[in-house]
Amino acid sequence: MSERSERLFEALGEIDEGKIDEAAPAEKRVVHWKRWTALAAAFVLVIGAGSYVLPRLGGNAGSAGAGGAGAGSDGASTFMSYAGPVFPLTLREADSAILAEREITLDFAPWIPVWWSNEEEANRDGYTPEQRQETLDMYNEWYPEGGRWKSSTDIRVADAYTLTNTSNEDKTVSVLYPFAGMLNDLENIRPTLTAGGQELETTLYAGQYSGGFQGAWEGWPNRKDNPGSVNLDQPNSWEDFRDRLEDGDYLRSALGEWADLSGVPVTVYQFTDPWGPEPDEEAGVPNPTIRVYFDLDYDRTEVLSYGFNGGSYDRENGRQGKSFSIPRDFWPERSKFPKYLIVLGNDIRNITAQGCVTGGWDDEKTLEAGVTIQRYESNLEDILYTVAQYALREEKDFDLSYGIWKDWLLSYGVLADDPMERYRWGDIEHMDVDIMSRVFYLEAQVTIPAGGSVQLSAEMTKEGSYDFACAHTENRGIYGYDMVTKLGSNLICTGQTAVLEDRGQIRIIRQNFGFDLENGVKQVTLDPSQEHYYLEIKGREDRFGK
Amino acid sequence: MEDAAIIGLYWARDEEAIAASDRKYGKLCRSLSRDILDSREDAEECVNDTWQKAWNTMPPQRPNSLRAYLAKITRNLSIDRWRAGRAEKRGNGLTILLDELEEALPAPSAEELTEARETARTIERWLDTISPADRIAFLQRYWYGQRVDMVAKQAGCSSNSMVKRLGRLRDGLRRALEQEGINV
C-alpha cells in the first residue's frame, strides 16, 4: 500500500455521478417486484437448473391480526375489512416549483337514510310478473309499513388541491392520483378528476397486490401463528400500504410496461369436444368426467392448466393428472370453452385421456368417453392471451385485466420464483386478481400558468373499514375512514385542511383529526408531520327514527 | 419520497430533508463509510456529518442524483477521517482496498501528473470501455468499498470468480493509465 494507491482511490471519487448511481449496491436484500419488458428467453434452461429468474414477491405486507379496536400505533383501529386510506396527489416528475394546498372533505351524505319502498324492491329488472308479485308479498310481510329506511356506509370524498406554479413559465405537469381498492369494484371507487371544474381525461394504471399471504386459519387472527401462503392476507392498516409505497418502487412498477412473455417457449395441449354419457345416479355414473394423465419430470417441467376441475399430483413417480366434468347442454358457457395444459420446460410424456364415472381420483370405474387433444408449440404470451379471451371475457378493461393477470401469474402463481401455496397446482383461472387489494393511479395532464394556480379535485366514493358483525368484536357497528398526508407523494404541500360534513348522521368514536361535533368544529388544519389521520364513527341511533 | 422532493425540502430549509435522506440513503452511506473505516462508530459520525454537509450545500447545489451526491460526501468524509486516524490506528478497511489498488498503478514515469481530476477523467474513459457488469463490480468494490463476497453476490458469481475478475479489471485500468501517461 502506498500514497499512490490512496490517491487513485481518491481520484475515483471524482467520477461521473451516473456511474456511481449505476453501481449503487442493492439497499435491500429482498428483490423488489417490478414489471419486465422482457423475460429471459432461456426459460427452459432456467427451469432445468431448478430455479427461476422470474420475479419474487417484494416485501412483506403482512400485518398483525385484525379486529383491534384502537390497537394501531397511532390509536386507530385495525379493521377486519380495511378499505385503505385516501392518498395524496403526486406528480409523475417531482417539481419543486409546484406548491400545493390540500383540502379534503369527508362527506357523510350517503349515510342519510332514504326510504326504499317494497314496490321498488320488487320492481327489479329481470323479474317475471309472478316473481315480482311473490317478492312484493314477501317484502310486504317483512315491512308492513310499505318499505324501510336504508342508508349506505360509504362516504363521498372530495380531495381538493390548489396547485401553484411559482416559476416564470407555464408548466404542464402529469398528475397521478392514487386510490386503493380492488379490480372488481373499480367502477364504484374510481375517482373523477377535475381541474377548474372541468373533468380531466385520465389514464388508469394498476399497482400490484398490496397485501401478502398467510397460512390456514389455525391460530387466527394472529398471523404469526399462521405461517404459509394458502390464504390472502389483505392489508389491514395504513402501515401495510406505507411499506409498499414508501420507496417509490411500487409506483414505478405500476407505471411500467407489462411483462412480455413472447420469449418463453411452451408446448400447448388443447382439449375440445369432450363427449360421454349423461349422468345417471342409479347406474352409478353421477358425474361423467374426463381424466387426463401424463408423465413429467417435476424438476424440469411446470404445467399450467385452464378449464380443469381437479388434479392429482404424484411427484415421487413423476405422474400428474387433471380432470374435468363433461359439460352438459344446459351448463354455463364457460364450462364448454376449450381446456388447456401449458407446458414450460421439458414436455410431458405419455398423455392419456380416460372417461370416469366421477371426478374423484380414488374412484377407478371407467366409462366410454373422449376428448379431442391437439398438441402444438407456442410461446407463453400467445397462449396466455388466447386463454385470457376466455378467462377475462367479462372484464370491462381487458388490457388492464390481462396485464394484472400476467403479473399475478409471475409474482405469485406457478411462474413466480417462490409461488404461493394457494396457486401451486398450476390452475390459472383463479381470479384472485379481482379481489386483491391494490393501489390504482389515475394520470392526467394539467397546465398551470406561470405564477398562477389551478384548482384540482378528486372526487370519489369511499367505502368504510369495518369488523365483520359476526365476529362480535368491540368495533361492531363502527366504520373507519382514514387518509395519509404525504405517503407516496412528491408534491410540496404547504398546508392541509380537513372538513367533516357529518350531515347529522354520526357519532365520533375515535379520531386524531380534532373534529368536535358538539362544539361545531368541523374544519381542522392538519399537521404535515402527522402522516396518518383517521376517523372512526358509528351511525347515530336516532337517524332512522323518522 | 423521491429525490427531487427531498432536494426541495433542503431548499425549503425543512429539517425533514435530513430525516428523509437518512431513511432513503442512510443505510447505503453507513455501509459505504463502514467499509472504508472498519468502524461502526466512526461511520455513524461520518454519516451524521454527511447530512450536515448536505444541509450546508443545498442550496446552492441541486444534484442530478441525490444518491450519488450524498454517497460522494460520505466517501470523501470517510477518506478524510481515515487519514486523520491512520497515524494512531490503521483501519483495515481502506488499507486492504488500497493494497489491492496498488496493482493497478503503472510504473512511475518521468512526468509527475498527479491531478486527481485528470486521473478521474482517464478512469472514466476506461470505465466506458468495459461492460456494464464489470463497471458495476469495479465501482462497488473500489468506489463503495463493498466486500468482495457482497460484490460477487450481487453479480451472481462466486467470490473466487469475482477476485479473478477484479484482478483483470485492475490490470485493465493499469494499462489504461499507462497509455494515458498517468502516474498517480
- Here the CATH number for the domain that contains residue B126 is 1.10.10.10
* Same domain assignment for residues B128 and B168: yes
* Same domain assignment for residues A141 and A155: no
* Same domain assignment for residues A105 and A241: yes
* Same domain assignment for residues B15 and B55: yes
* Same domain assignment for residues B79 and B11: yes
* Same domain assignment for residues A124 and A176: no
Q: Is A29 in the B-facing interface, judged by CB distances under 8 Å?
A: no
Residues of A within 8 A of B65 (CB-CB) are 17-18, 20-21
Residues of B within 8 A of A10 (CB-CB) are 79, 116
Q: In this structure, is residue B105 part of a structural domain?
A: yes
* Same domain assignment for residues A223 and A95: yes
Instruction: For A375, list phi and psi in degrees, rounded to 5.
Output: -105, 135
Chain A 73-132, CB below 8 Å of chain B: which residues?
A: 93-96
A210: left (phi over 0), alpha (psi -120 to 50) or beta: alpha
* Same domain assignment for residues B56 and B127: no
* Same domain assignment for residues A271 and A184: no
Chain B 76-135, CB below 8 Å of chain A: which residues?
A: 76, 79, 94-95, 97-99, 101-102, 104-105, 114, 116-117, 119-120, 123-124, 127, 132, 135
* Same domain assignment for residues A507 and A461: yes
Q: Which of B101, B124, B130, B140 to substitute to test the interface with A, most A CBs within 10 Å?
A: B101
Q: In this structure, is residue A68 part of a structural domain?
A: no
Q: In this structure, is residue B8 part of a structural domain?
A: yes
A422, A230 contact by CB (below 8 A): yes
* Same domain assignment for residues B147 and B117: yes
User: Which sign does the torsion angle of CA B48, B53, B58, B64 carry?
Assistant: negative
User: Which sign does the torsion angle of CA B7, B9, B15, B19 carry?
Assistant: negative
* Same domain assignment for residues B115 and B165: yes
| Number of domains composing chain B | 2
Q: Which of A99, A137, A183, A132 lies closest to A439 in space, CA to CA?
A: A183
Kindly report, residue by residue over B126-151, the tens digit of the pLDDT. 888 888 888 888 998 888 888 887 88
Q: Is A65 helix (H, G, I), strand (E, B) or coil?
A: coil
Among B89, B119, B149, the domain boundary falls at: B89
* Same domain assignment for residues A108 and A228: yes
| Alpha helices (H) in A123-205, listed in sequence order | 129-142, 186-189
* Same domain assignment for residues B83 and B128: no
Q: In this structure, is residue A401 part of a structural domain?
A: no
* Same domain assignment for residues B103 and B85: no
| Number of domains composing chain A | 4
Q: Is A534 helix (H, G, I), strand (E, B) or coil?
A: strand
Q: Which of A460, A266, A422 lies closest to A347 in space, CA to CA?
A: A266
* Same domain assignment for residues A375 and A250: no
- pLDDT 10s per residue in chain A (546 long)? 456 677 777 778 778 888 888 888 765 433 333 343 333 333 333 333 322 222 222 333 333 344 577 767 678 988 888 999 999 999 999 999 999 999 999 999 999 999 888 888 888 767 778 878 888 888 888 888 898 888 899 999 999 999 999 999 999 999 999 999 999 889 999 999 999 999 999 999 999 999 888 776 544 445 445 567 777 888 989 999 998 898 888 999 899 888 889 989 999 999 999 999 988 888 888 889 999 999 999 889 999 999 998 888 898 999 999 999 898 888 878 788 999 999 999 999 999 999 998 888 777 788 999 999 999 999 999 999 999 999 888 888 899 999 998 888 888 887 887 788 888 788 887 668 888 999 999 999 999 999 999 999 999 999 999 888 766 778 888 999 999 999 999 999 999 999 999 999 999 999 999 999 999 999 999 998 899 999 999 999 888 765
* Same domain assignment for residues B78 and B130: no
Range of the domain at A326: 265-379+389-395
CATH number at residue B61: 1.10.1740.10
* Same domain assignment for residues B38 and B111: no
* Same domain assignment for residues A97 and A224: yes
Interface pTM, i.e. ipTM: 0.74
| Alpha helices (H) in A156-237, listed in sequence order | 186-189
Which of A8, A20, A27 is facing B139, going by the closest CB pair?
A20
Specify the pTM: 0.65
Chain B residue with CA closest to A487: the answer is B1
A499 strand-pairing partners: A105, A523
Q: In this structure, is residue A416 part of a structural domain?
A: no
- Report residue A217 as a C-alpha cell: 386459519
**Contact assignment for B4 to A1 by CB distance below 8 Å:** no
**Contact assignment for B4 to A95 by CB distance below 8 Å:** yes
* Same domain assignment for residues B76 and B104: no
A451: left (phi over 0), alpha (psi -120 to 50) or beta: left
Distance from CA of A16 to the nearest CA of B (A): 7
CATH number at residue A463: 2.60.40
A163, A456 contact by CB (below 8 A): yes
Range of the domain at B25: 3-89
* Same domain assignment for residues A364 and A452: no
A344, A296 contact by CB (below 8 A): no
Residues of B within 8 A of A16 (CB-CB) are 124
Distance CA A193, CA A163 (A): 14
* Same domain assignment for residues A109 and A239: yes
* Same domain assignment for residues B167 and B145: yes
* Same domain assignment for residues A221 and A250: yes
